[in-house]
Amino acid sequence: MAPRKRVVVAGLGDVGLLTAIRLGKHADVVGISAKSALVSGQELGVRISRPGDWARDYWIPFDRFRGLDRVRTVQATLTGVDLASRTVFGRGGDGATIAEEFDALVISTGVTNGFWRQPTMQSPDEIGADLHAAHNRLASADSVIVIGGGAAAVSSAVNMATTWPDKRIDLYFPGDAALGGYHPRTWERIRGRLTELGVGLHAGHRAVIANGSAGAEITSAPVSWSTGQPPASADAVLWAIGKVQPNTDWLPPELLDEHGFVRVSPELEVPGHRGVFAVGDVAASDPLRSSARNRGDSLVAHNIRAEFTGRRLRTYRTPGRRWGSLVGIQADGLEVFLPTGHAFRLPAWSVQRVVMPGLVRWGMYRGVRANNPLR
């Protein structure tokens, strides 16, 4: 019998984790992550307003995933790759160098974005401290400004206004409408909800970013606008402007496009490097980098298996517009938007009894062991 192939999955965020789970039965898989758990970049609004609910679904130690039982996980910071010798290098928490050889490599290191998506090495206590610090900072503020026109900003405004109805919350965004990557119907529906919640909506405001690090922390300094409006101030300012930075400083520059994202073919394979794939927010698959949200993990897992056996690789097809849940699970259920801008709502009972335990924890993750209480 031929020896099993080895796959290294570099980055175990939302997409990397699913890719590793899908490959665990078919190869010797090594997953490398700066965290010892899935710490999702999803649902910022739920994270800051209801951290206990968010932790239940989006902060999950790797040893709770049954699908990772066949995967060896390594907590380390990635430092480099030698494509000729097909070896990935990293540095563990104790400073020791690690080296992992591969037959196939999945680059799924994601992006840095604000205080909630950082590639730093963290212990569970440090993750919990960050989670509570952001929540407590916003909970204690009487007024909050949210800056940004994307899903993270809109979700944050909706969830904070729902959790803290007496808080003054204002959303500032640069265009005539927010949610530019979605169908216009989506913004129309969300705008109505924001208005009902009493959120102040301020279109045409482009913030001046003084130090280039907007989003790294919740601030309280007045916000100036390059579009000419007078400065705005609040007790807390949440920057969610989508200023993402790909986590690719460990990769050779020739693999990257002009913005630092990993160049990929329609099969999500890195051109000129057979067996090296990229998926998720780090992959320059299309302008929206949509393989992070459209089962790119399934395609990459299939293509790696196909390459090992000499079969034809599949191509990735982009959806054209963003779609999915925007504000996360609410008391009345989960609203899901289609690429057409139309929405349907899953009632709360179905989310808690069918969607999360059945479709997500068993269907997607192949089984998740019982949760631990929030630290």
What pLDDT, on the 0 to 100 scale, is given for residue 289? 86
More confident site: 370 or 211: 370
Same domain, 172 and 258: no
pLDDT (average), residues 100-125: 94
| Integer Cα distance of 138 and 118 in angstroms | 20
Q: pTM of whole model > 0.85?
A: yes
pLDDT of residue 371: 66
Q: What is the pLDDT of residues 233-250, one digit of tens each?
A: 999 999 999 788 999 999
Q: Based on the fold, state whether residues 92 and 167 are members of the same structural domain.
A: no
Same domain, 291 and 201: no
**Segments forming the whole domain that contains residue 116:** 6-122+245-321+351-359
**String of DSSP letters for 270-283:** PTT-TTEEE-STTE
189 pLDDT exceeds 70?
Answer: yes
- The bridge status of strand 343-346 relative to strand 97-101 is unpaired
pLDDT of residue 145: 98
CB 249 within 8 A of CB 117: no
The band of 374, judged by pLDDT with boundaries at 50, 70 and 90, is very low
Q: Quote the percentage of the chain above a pLDDT of 70.
A: 97
Q: Could you say which of 239, 254, 286 is where a domain stops?
A: 239
Integer-rounded Cα Rg, in Å, for the chain is 21
Distances (CA, A) of 194 to 147, 184, 278, 338: 14, 15, 36, 20
Whether residues 251 and 233 fall in one domain = no
Note the helical H segments in the chain. 14-23, 44-49, 51-58, 124-139, 151-163, 184-196, 296-309, 348-350
- The model's confidence at residue 375, banded by pLDDT at 50, 70 and 90, is very low
Same domain, 235 and 128: yes
The Cα 297–Cα 69 span in angstroms is 18
pLDDT computed for residue 211 by the predictor: 67
Average pLDDT, the chain: 93
Give SS3 for 326.
coil
Query: What pLDDT was estimated at residue 373?
Result: 45
Angle at 120 between CA 118 and CA 126, to 5 degrees: 95
Q: CB neighbours of 129 closer than 8 A, spacing ≥ 6?
A: none
Q: CATH code at 89? A: 3.50.50.60
Helical packing angle, 14-23 and 296-309, nearest 10°: 40
Instruction: Count the domains in the chain.
Output: 2
What pLDDT sits at residue 295?
87
Strands 276-278, 104-107: pairing is parallel
Residues in CB range of 242: below 8 A, 6 or more apart: 113, 148, 150, 152
CB atoms within 10 A of CB 252: 12
